[in-house]
Amino acid sequence: MTSTVRRWTSGYKTARSSLLRLPSLTLPELPRFVIKGGVVIVEQGEIRAELQGRTLRTAPDYDEVMLPDIKKWFEAYYTIQFANYPVDRHHLSAGGYQVPCRIV
């Protein structure tokens, strides 16, 4: 065995043995209650009320010259068509609330 392979296999064995010592993972429990705006929405895992909240949306600026390249990339790597991706404003409840975009 070469030294590179020996180092990789020893690292793998160390990582594997440390994973075997992890405590068993459990799924998170459901909350007993979900309260929003003073209204009980969920109780004991059962939906008790529907509450219409605000729909948040963004409208970022972009360079339209890049649109053909973005479409090509989208069609190659996404399972839906580019034309089906945008959400029309009429699907937004009351137009939604536009959140400003910032470059961070």
pLDDT of residue 38: 86
pLDDT in tens, 32-61: 888 887 889 889 888 898 877 777 888 888
pLDDT in tens, 7-30: 444 444 555 455 555 556 566 777
pLDDT of residue 23: 59
Both tokens assigned to 29 = 């429990």
DSSP state, 12?
H
Pairing of strands 33-36, 39-43: antiparallel
The two most distant CA atoms of the chain are separated, in Å, by 67
- Three-state DSSP class for 27? coil
Rounded Cα distance between 24 and 43, Å, is 28
